Structures are given as structure tokens and as C-alpha cells.
Structure 1
Amino acid sequence: MKMVDISLNGVAFVLDEEAYFRLNIYIQSLKTAYGSQKNGKEIIDDIEARIAELFLNGQKENLSLITLEKVEEIISQLGEPEDSSENVEHKKIRFERRFYRDEKNSKIGGVLSGLSNYFGISLILLRLLFIASMFIEFFISDQFWISICLYLILWAIVPKAKTARQKMEMHGEPITASTIEKSIKKEIKGTVGDAKSSKIAKLFVNLFYVIGKILKFFLMFIFGCISFVFILLLFAFVISSIVVMVAYIPFVEVFVSSNPYIAVLLSLLILIIPLILIYYLLIKTVFSVKWRRGITISLVLLWILSLGSFVGIAVNEGFDRIERFYETEEINVTSKSGVLNVISSENKKSNFDFREGVFSKGVYYRIKTDSTLDPSNFRIVVNKSSFGRNSKDAQKNLELFKDFEIKIETDSSVEVPPYLLFNGEKVKFRGQNIKIDIYKSEDSEVKTDSYLNRCE
């Protein structure tokens, strides 16, 4: 038996020789009947697509070779092109409906009208149910977006009915040569009817187009004014940020080991670049400015580089606070009166000088009772601690406060510095902390002035 390879609707099939000749005669009869018509090619293409679909169904039944019997069966289903609808009525087979989007009867995407055709439900009822479901979801669970997302997903994945064959499948109509011809002719008549009313539609389209242009002009004018104000604010923000951060450089120097100017510059870039990109995106969207990818990519890369460098500085500073070093100093004081006066060495709690860039951290004290002490005896314990990359580095950071000294002024008063000073050049802040515990007996008394910081 001789076999012939053919391509039908873009799909390859293998037919025996008799089946090939019979199919070829049928297709030639289709071309003779419909080739001279205005939309004859579309009719023939739809019929060939239906034949290919029926061939594929045969392959699912393990019929790899298309025989003459299969071709005759398909032709009997479709009917000869010269047959009238009455002659082929007994040959029509009603096929299962297929789900397509019906854009002809659609309001948005044709999903609901397609579902209406597929399930045979009233389109108005289906739309009312959809709207009701959104309201129910909104008032019960605040999740009305579920219905909207489902609609959008179906809109994206479900194809729309374009060809006459697809529209017949959508309505569950039998697909024969005559019904395909009638469907296409009906569609042509509808198009002609639409053309008669196109002048009125065109008038309304032009009217709305003019109104839209006017509204767009006003919106662009308003946006232009807002953009101008935004540019001024952005410029003012940049200048003020530079002034403030440069002024704070001595303060930043207290906390970072690296160059404070670099840290300030990176902070500015991290803040400003996103604002510039947002503004650039708004300008492009509203004024249809051509998107220059080079500028955008350069800004994004600069922002990523700045952020990475800033994170690197932060991580490096974190390594300066790994190990902690403790040191304790004890001072014994005797007061014959049983009263110890603790006074501040300066008449202020803070010594932060913005111009000089000096940062201060308060020294805290606690008063505790020790029953083993005599009323005339007091014990002052100074607890010092500091961080560093290692214990040696932490000890070195604490030794910078060697000048921190508690002075015994008289037999009943001591002088305590109220804070630690960090100037950034010699002494950097690495979590240095000093707490003073003042121990007294139950019958003695400790008096402090208001410039010292007390903690419980």
C-alpha cells in the first residue's frame, strides 16, 4: 500500500493513496464552490482546519494512518459544498461547546459572554452574579480583588473567537461546509450593517477624541506646574542635605573609622537617586518622552554601588564592636559627718558642640546600700566598658579616657565628670560606657547635684 504525506492546517498527516485522492477531490470541490466568493479563502481555511482536527481525533484513537474510510466519514459529517442545508441535515453532528471569549457581546474582555455561551446561562444573570460576588467579598472579607484577578487571568489565557469555525464551536453549532459558509456570510452582513452606522459612531469618536485632547492638555499643564515645584523642592532638598551633612561631618567622624566625607556622599546618593528615577518615570509617562535606557541603567548601577559601599562601611564598623572589655576601679571615701556630697565637675549635663563636632555621652551613677559599711565610710566603684575588634582593641578604646578622674575635694565631697567626650580625631565612639556605684551604710546619706545622671 502506497502512503502519502500531506500538511493540512500546518499539521502533518500520513494518508493511504486512496484516501489522499478522495481528500484532494473534496478540497478541489471546496475551492470550486467557494474560491470565487469574497470570503471564500476564509471558508476553505476553516473547513480544512476542521478536517485537520478530526484527523487528530483519529490519531488519538491509534489511527496513525488515515484511511479512505476515515476520509469518507469526515466528508459525510461536513457535507459536500453543493449540498443544501436540507440535504445534509441528517449528516450534521452537534459537537461539544468550546470556551472562547465572545468579544462581540462583551463589555470589557468577553469572558462573561463566553461563559454564558459555554454554559447556556443568561448573560445578564451572569453579570449580576459577578457584580454581587464582588460586593459580598468586599463586605465580608475585604477581598473583592479575588474575582477581579480571576477575571483578568481568564481574559489572559482564554482565546477569543476569531474565525467562523471558532464562533460556531463557541455556540455548540454543528460544523459543516454549509454552516461555515452561512456563518461567514452572516458575519459579512453584520459588518455591512455596522458600516451604515459608522458615520454616527465616527462623529462620537471624534468628539470624545477632542475632549480627551483638551483634558490631556490641562492635565499636562497641571503636571508641568507640579513638576516645576517638585524640581525646586528636589533642588532645595539636595542643597539642604549637602549643607546639613557636611556640617555633620565632624559628628559622623566620631562614629566611623573610614573617611566621613565618603559616608556622607554615599548617604546623599542613596537618598537622591530614587527620587530622580521616580520623577524621570513620571515625565516619561505623562509627556511620552523617549525612555533613555543608558541614563536609567547608569543611575540604577550608581545607586546599587552606593548602597553596597554604604553597607560595606556599616559592616566594617560592626567589626569594631565584636569584643567587649571591662575594667573596675574602687575608691574609698571617709566623711565624719556621715554625708557625702557628689558634685559635677561642670555645670551642665551635655557638652555637644555642633561647631566643634564634639559628642558627649552621659556618665550614670547609682546609690546602693551596704550594711557592712560604717556611717562615715563610703565606697565608690567605677565600672568601665568598651567595644573593639578584639579584646586588645577594646582595651585601647577604653584607655583613651585616662583623663576621666573622680577627685576628692574635701573629706565629705567628691567631684565627678558628668560625661565622656568624643572628638572624632583621637577618640571615636565604640560603645564606651561608665557607670558609678556609690555604696553607703543605712545611716549615712549621699547628696548629688542636678547635673549628674542617675539610673536605678
Structure 2
Amino acid sequence: KLSRYFDAIKRTLSNSKGQDEIMKDIEMRVAELLQEKQQSDKHVVNIDDVDAVITVMGQPEDYRIDEENSESTTGFSTKNNNVKKLYRDKESSLIGGVCAGLGHYFGIDKVWIRIFLFLLVWFWGTGVLAYIILWIVMPEATTTSEKLEMTGSPVTILNIEKKVREEFDSVSQKFKNGEFDELGNKIKLGASRVSGNLGDVIVSIFKVFAKFLGGLVVLISAILLVAVCVTSIIMIFSTALPNNTILNYFHTPIGLETPLWMQGILFLFAFGIPLFFLLILGLKLLITNLKSIGNIAKYTLLALWIIATSLLVLLGINEASQRAFDGKVVQKQELNIKQNDTLILKFKNNDFYDKKIDGNVDYKISQDENGKTVLYSNNVSIELLKTDAAKPYFEIEKLAEGKTMFDAKQKAEKIRYNFTIKDNVLIFDNYFLTDFMQQFRNRNQKVEIFLYLPKGTFLKPDASVQNYDDSDDDYFNLHFSDDKFVYKAEENKLKCLNCPNYENEFNDVNSVNDSLNEINNDSTSTLILNEDRIIIKKSIDRKNNKETKTIKVNGKEFFRVETEINKN
């Protein structure tokens, strides 16, 4: 039947110009329609498919087009989708036909498209990049069927013959009008464009770049997708894992209070689906004819991604509401030490939980001496401050977050933290404990210690203090090299009494510099080499017109020179 259909068309077009080209376009269009009808991989065409194609293309015996009345139409009915497709129009092109093709697709003059892309050139070359990308991705309209699809005209026998006739008539008319030179120039120009011009070179370069980019996208997306899948599987099946797994010691990727298996499912869909589509995109850059996964799969994955992302947003909002308020419990303790006694400050660890004094564990799941599951944390800090009180004292602040003020305070009250006072020795724990489930409802528990020292108080900090010291360096600059140094609280800072001379010199120099800031005529510059205990100091006394240069080694003055300054 299809063969008889083609024979009938040939008889109809027996006296038409461009019969061979018309038949070629008709056969290509019929092949496209039959391919669209295929619903399996067997590539079998039945009589119903042929009838459907003939209905779309039209019956050749229902009309005849002659030279004098090529615009007339008949009464047969065809299916007209009138859907435009995006092609490059090389016939109306200046470079690659991109602007002309976009003009056909959007129904506007190609001149406006060219002006718009030209203006984009001034925005970091965006117009050039956009043109090159469109040149690569947009196919050229070469056949009559593609040219009809580009303008949105129905691809029927009538329109194909009409289009071919118009092209033949256009060429004939130009020859009749003597436009040989102009036509010849255009033919030469078209030939030069086809024969490997700069545009073809650029396209080739960008095709190679597209392959490289595709490989890079495939590699990165595949690695990330595998990581997401492995993490999600571990989270989903976490209930079957032993209690001492790595999940007990690190935050989950999402960190919500919902069940871990549910977090794993949402994590897989929310992050895995975009990576999957990115992988497909990279493969399409590498493989030109890669088969699509199908619209059903695309829309299903898109729906799952939207649902998972929406749930994560809602859970995130709920999690934020669980941390909306800060709760604090304050414990104050006065230190009854004699006036000239030295307060010894230490931190201690608990070997049952961690044998290191310098532990830096945000949180981990452990068991106490009674076998109860608890949360262990080193989130402890101390700050030394001055006070006008008669005796030193300290405050311990237990902090937590919650959805209400009452809830946050309850969480803070459940923090277990200890300290010891024996004579003039003050020992703080370097950790605290709280309920295991508590942490997963609120992750920001911490303990802050504030030690207030009145003027004249002597302090001897242990070396362990350096791991938890959060004091202002202008008030307390702890010397880390030894735990035998004694500090004295003065008006505005703690001064080391038995530190090496070069450190005291450094403190003295800072004090001098603070005073000299108020004297515009004098200046002091100091270079301190702590490793060799060498101090190079230069002082200018403009009041007495003197400049002094000194060098000290190990606290002893090794060199000193005084010179007069010219008054001018």
C-alpha cells in the first residue's frame, strides 16, 4: 500500500519542477512519521501505521497543483499540529543561521535577535558564548520537511511541493532578472562557508571541548552519586548496625531528629536524583545518539525529587524551631583563699571516657560506670576576668537550645558537670555528660566557665588550661612553655611574675607603647626574637633630643648607644 501511495504521488508530480527533491522530502517525512509510530524495538510497520501516515500527509489524488494556481487548496482534511521546531536557517544567515532560526521559532524578526546578542557581547562576552553554544546544539534545516517544521508549517505533500516550487521559482526569477553576479557571489560565499571556514573550526574545537567537559561531568557526578548512595544505604540500614558504629561518633549528613532510615531515603532522593541527571547530561555530551530514559522515568524522578526536597525543607524548618531559644543555668562559687595564697588552676580528664587531657571531642556516644548510655563532650571553655569583689569567684554556665525557653532551660539543667576545690587548688573537669537522646534533640550544649580575679590575686595555671582558655589576650596571655609560672592580677591585666625576662620585657614594652601613644613627640620601636631571647629596642626622646638603641640577650643588656637628635 505504501508503494502504491508513492507511485500515485509520482504520477501527480509528473509535470512538476523538482520532482526528485519533492519525492525525497516526502519519503523522509513518511519515514519520520513511521518511526514515531513505533512502540517496540521490533521495527515492524502494520497497515494501521501506514493509514495514519497517509492521513497526515494527504491523498495525492484529492488535489492537483499546476503552475498557474499553486496556491489553491482542496477539501481534504489532514492532521495539522503546526508545532515549530528549532533549527538553524543557513539560507538567511550571516554566520551560522542561529539568529534566523530563533526568529522563526519565536515569530520575531531575526534583526532583533542579532541586536540582542550583540548587546550581550558587552556583558563579559555572554553573547558570543551563547551564540557558540546555540550553534552547537541547534541542527541546521537542510531538508524541505525541516524547513517547514522550522516555520511551523504542516509537513504535507502539498506544502512540500509548494516549498520546492518556491525555491525553484526564486532561482529562476533571479536568472531572468540578470542577477547573475549577485547570485554568483552568494554561491561563492556559501561555498566558502561550507568548505571549512573559521566557523567550522570553532565548531570542531567546541565539540572536542564538549567531549572533555562531558567526561569531566560524568566522572565527578559518578563519584558523588556513589558516595551519596553508599551513605544513604548505611543510614537506611543503620538499625541493623552495632551500637559502636561510626554513626555514633559523627553527625549525620542532615542532622535532623527524624529516624535515620528516613533521613537516608530523603538524602538519596534529594541529592542523588540531581546527580543522576547530571550524569545523563555528561553522557549525552559524550554520546551523540544516547537513548533517552523516557518521559515517564523523567517525570517520576522529578516528582520524587520535589517531594524529598520539600520534606527536607519542612524538617529543616522544624529543626530550626527546636533551636529557637537559648537556655542557661548558672552556678556561682566563691573561693575562700588567704590573701597571699596562690590560686592553682587545673583541668582534669576522666580516663574512663578519654585518656587525653587535650581532648577535642564535640560529642560522642559512650557509657558511664553504671552501663547507662550517655553523651560525652569536651565543649568546655574558661575565661579569666577582672572584678572589684574582695575575693575571687567563678561562675559555671550550662548552655543549651530548645523550642521554648522552658524546654531550653530543662536541657541545660540535664548537663552534668563537676569541679573540685581543695584548699587553694581549683580543678575543673575537661568534659561534661548529658542524656544520650538529649543530644539528638539539641546539639549545642556547652559549658562556659568565668573565673573572676580581684586585683592582687596570685594565679598559677596548669599547662592543661591552655587547651580550654578563651580569655582576652590583652588581659591574660598564658605562657604555654611551662606550668610553673605565677601571674598577678593587676589593674587591667594578669602579669607574669617569674616568666623569662624577655617576656616581661615584652609586656613592659607594650605598657610603654600604650603610654607613648599619648605623646606625639616620642616613639619606641622594638624587635623581639623570642627563640634566641634577643631584644632590639630603639627609643626616641624628643624632649631631651636623645635616641637610645639597646640590645639585650637572655635578659642582660649587651649593647647600648645614646645619640643626640638634631632639633631641626
Partner of 1:272: 272
Identity over aligned pairs, percent: 16
Asked if residue 381 in structure 1 is aligned to residue 395 in structure 2, the reply is yes
Contact 1:363 1:419 in 2 (8 A): yes
Q: Are the aligned partners of 1:102 and 1:111 in contact in 2 as well (CA < 8 Å)?
A: no
- Residue correspondence of structure 1 range 184-263 to structure 2 within 5 A: 186-187=173-174, 233=223, 236-238=226-228, 241-242=231-232, 247-248=246-247, 251-252=250-251, 256-263=256-263
Conserved 8 A contact 2:360-2:379: yes
SS at match of 1:392: helix
How far apart, in 2, do the equivalents of 1:147 and 1:252 lie? 43
Which amino acid is 1:442 matched to?
K
Matched ranges for 1:154-193 at <5 A: 186-187=173-174
- Matched-pair contact (CA < 8 Å) for 1:342–1:413: yes
| Cα 1:413–1:261 shift into 2, 3 Å | farther
Does 2:434 correspond to 1:392? no
Task: Give ranges in structure 1 of 5+ residues lacking alignment.
Answer: 1-36, 46-100, 113-125, 153-161, 163-181
Distance 1:265 1:355, change over 3 A: farther
- Residue identity in the other structure for 1:348: D
8 A contact 1:367–1:439 mirrored in 2: yes
Contact map agreement 1:340 1:412 (CA 8 A) in 2: yes
Q: Which residue of 2 aligns with 1:40?
A: 68
Deviates more, 1:293-302 or 1:444-453: 444-453
What is the distance in 1 between the residues matched to 2:124 and 2:220? 35
- C-alpha displacement at 1:339, in angstroms? 1.6
Counterpart secondary structure, 1:454: coil
Distance 1:340-1:358 versus aligned 2 partners, 3 A rule: same
Match for 1:366: what amino acid?
A: E
- 1:317 has 2:319 as partner: yes
Change beyond 3 A, Cα 1:325–1:142: closer
1:338 equivalent in alignment to 2:341? yes
Q: Spell out the pairing of 1:57-136 with structure 2 (5 A cutoff).
A: 103=91, 106-109=94-97
Higher helix share: 1
Distance 1:242 1:423, change over 3 A: farther
Match of 1:436 in 2: 449
Q: Deviations over 1:234-273 (max 9, x none)?
A: 5643465458866336533795322133224423432221
Separation of aligned partners in 1, 2:365 and 2:226: 23
1: CA distance, partners of 2:196 / 2:128: 36
Give the SS at the match of 1:40. Answer: coil
Q: Who is 1:404 aligned against?
A: 417
- Letter in structure 2 aligned against 1:306: A
Structure 2 SS opposite 1:287: coil
Q: What is the TM-score of this pair, normalised by structure 2?
A: 0.42
Q: Which has the higher contact order (CA 8 A, sep 6+)?
A: 1
Residue 310 of structure 2: aligned partner: 308
1:357-408 per-residue CA deviation (whole Å, 9 max, x = no partner) reads 95625222222222331xxx3211223332212222112211211x312221
Question: Is contact 1:366-1:436 (8 Å) kept?
Answer: yes
SS where residue 251 of structure 2 aligns?
helix
Structure 2 contact 345–427 (Cα < 8 Å) conserved: yes
What CA distance in whole angstroms lies between the structure 1 residues aligned with 2:300 and 2:438? 39
Question: Which residue matches 2:360?
Answer: 350
RMSD over aligned Cα, in angstroms? 5.5
- In terms of Rg, which structure is larger? 1
* Equivalent residue, structure 2, for 1:50: none
Q: Deviations over 1:138-190 (max 9, x none)?
A: 5xx746739999xx9xxxxxxxxx9xxxxxxxxxxxxxxxxxxx988514769
The count of corresponding residues between Structure 1 and Structure 2 is 307
Q: What is the aligned partner in structure 2 of residue 367 from structure 1?
A: 384
Instruction: Report the Cα distance in structure 2 between the residues aligned to 1:110 and 1:324, rounded to whole angstroms.
Output: 60
Assess if the C-alpha contact under 8 Å between 2:214 and 2:282 holds in 1.
no
Cα distance change on mapping 1:355 and 1:186 into 2, 3 Å? same
Give the Cα separation in 2 of the matches to 1:355 and 1:383: 23
| Structure 2, unaligned runs of 5 or more | 1-64, 74-88, 101-110, 135-146, 148-168, 239-245, 350-356, 367-373, 473-568
> Distance between the aligned counterparts of 1:243 and 1:407, measured in 2?
46
CA spacing shift, 1:234–1:407, aligned 2, 3 Å:
closer
Deviation at 1:328, TM superposition (A): 2.0
Partners of 1:243 and 1:102 lie apart in 2 by: 52
Query: Residues 227 and 328 of structure 1: is their aligned pair in 2 closer, same or farther, counting only changes over 3 Å?
Result: closer
Local SS of the residue matching 2:276: helix
The alpha carbon displacement at 1:331 in A equals: 0.6
Is contact 1:341-1:446 (8 Å) kept? yes
d(CA) in 1 for partners of 2:298 and 2:127?
A: 33
2:444 is paired with a residue of what secondary structure? coil
Letter in 2 for 1:368: L
What amino acid is the match of 1:387? E
Deviation at 1:433, TM superposition (A): 3.5
